[in-house]
Amino acid sequence: MEKKRHTFSGGLGFVLAAAGSAVGLGNIWRFPYLAAKHGGGIFLLVYIVLVFTFGYSLMTAENAIGRRSGKSSLDAFASLNKKWGFVGIIATVIPCIILPYYDVIGGWVLRYFLAYITGGAAQAAGDTYFTDMLGSPMVLLIGQTVFTLLVVLVLLRGVQKGVERVSVILMPILVLLAIGISIYSITLPGAIEGVKYFFIPNFEHFSISSVLAAMGQMFYSLSLAMGIMIAYGSYLPKDSPLEKNVSRIELFDTLIAVIAGLMIIPAVFAFSDGDSSALNKGPGLMFQTLPKVFNDMPMSNIIGAAFFFLVFAAALTSAISIMETIVACVCDHFGIARTKAIMIVGVAAWLVSFLPALGYSVLSDVKILKFDILDFMDFITNAVLMPICAFLVCMFVTFGIGTKVIEDEVCISGSFKRKRLFEVMIKFIAPVFVCAILVSSVLESFGVIAF
């Protein structure tokens, strides 16, 4: 018996769920740093142009592939053209590698949130708090277990009642918290220097590598090339306007990135007396620098708790989208019932997540290339597999099915105003740039160039 596919309730539900996926750690711990480092206002401008041209084309293609095929990434490509099924395999391997380590980071976030709501701002700001946490397997295992369990519980409620509803509740809370904290941050003494650094264009800090950094960031931030937007597209009702939805998701994601910049950069500047080198990226910024910044503020526990709740909301909705993508693939491909698929994927992700979690303690001798286990999982997906996948998506659309199939799918539910732009991007510009991202991100990971 053919079962009816789950769907989102419509435009808003889809947009918020997809935005929930897009708004994640990338917006909070990477975007502010990159923007500040690469020339402030000029980086912002380039980023926005890239989002609405390059990002827009790839997201439209992925959503349309999903909706057209009615399948998640593993089967979507083969169902539209048998010879291109291998792209589906690559697109599905990516979320399978990301999920376990994302669960681990989700656990770190929960640990910090707990620290702040129990009045631990001073401890969290301690020099060794973060490294002590990484070296405590039990703390990590509890954190990632709770986080994985939360994701599983949401998925069990279904696409509309679980995935969509959580985003509809958490995204507005996230926006309010981000605006509140950024107002607080901007009004700290000395903070205005940070605002200037973030917004005023500085051409000296801008170069071709800035463009590549903006492109790599955009691509990760919009959750492209990891099967997610294909799975979500397959849940999109046929009458919901695809082009408009894509623009809204992009706008939302970019706004949150800018607000995150306003939340973080002025506060770090105020704390460090305008020293821009205090601004770093990745876990160092979020788990080491910011706790020190918070500890210096009045109401440090409240601000810290609000901030880590916001990060938790961002991480949870992103993790939900990755697990949902894998579950959809398992259901579609093996014809397994959803509940069973969620259990299998949840337990597998939980077990595999022991590896990245223990990579800093029991398994600290295990290095792949030169990376710890978690860093390697991040490197192989972000720097290598995702650009390859994006390149193959462009090739698939151009040679595998033809751009017309995508255009027809978009036009079912409204206009396709940027059709010409889409064609030029997918056929010519995106493939070249994606190859440039691949080369530059691998070189960056090995320290040959620095972003």
Which positions lie near ligand PHE, rule CB under 6 A?
21-22, 24-27, 98, 102, 220-221, 223, 318, 321-322
Q: Minimum distance from CB of 25 to ligand PHE (Å)?
A: 4
Give the residue with the Cβ less far from ligand PHE, 69 or 325: 325
- The structure tokens listed for 285 are 């910024």
Q: Minimum distance from CB of 22 to ligand PHE (Å)?
A: 5
Q: Any residues with CB less than 8 A from the CB of 156 and at least 6 apart, and which?
A: 162, 339, 342
Give the residue with the Cβ less far from ligand PHE, 303 or 314: 314
Give the residue with the Cβ less far from ligand PHE, 102 or 294: 102
Q: Minimum distance from CB of 29 to ligand PHE (Å)?
A: 8
Q: Minimum distance from CB of 27 to ligand PHE (Å)?
A: 5
Q: Minimum distance from CB of 217 to ligand PHE (Å)?
A: 9
Give the residue with the Cβ less far from ligand PHE, 295 or 317: 317
In DSSP notation, 372-439 reads: -HHHHHHIIIIIIIHHHHHHHHHHIIIIII-HHHHHHHHHTTS--TTHHHHHHIIIIIHHHHHHHHHH
Host H or E run for residue 36: helix 31-37
Q: Minimum distance from CB of 98 to ligand PHE (Å)?
A: 5
Give the residue with the Cβ less far from ligand PHE, 14 or 271: 14
Q: What type of residue is 426?
A: I
Euclidean distance between CA atoms 225 and 227, whole angstroms:
6
Q: How many residues does the chain have?
A: 451
Give the residue with the Cβ less far from ligand PHE, 104 or 322: 322
Q: Any residues with CB less than 8 A from the CB of 243 and at least 6 apart, and which?
A: 60, 410, 414, 415, 416, 417, 418
Q: Minimum distance from CB of 225 to ligand PHE (Å)?
A: 11
Instruction: Judge whether 66 and 72 are in contact, CB under 8 Å.
Output: yes
Euclidean distance between CA atoms 68 and 44, whole angstroms:
34
Q: Any residues with CB less than 8 A from the CB of 147 and at least 6 apart, and which?
A: 103, 106, 107, 109, 110, 315, 316, 319
3-class SS at 143?
Answer: helix
Give the residue with the Cβ less far from ligand PHE, 26 or 400: 26
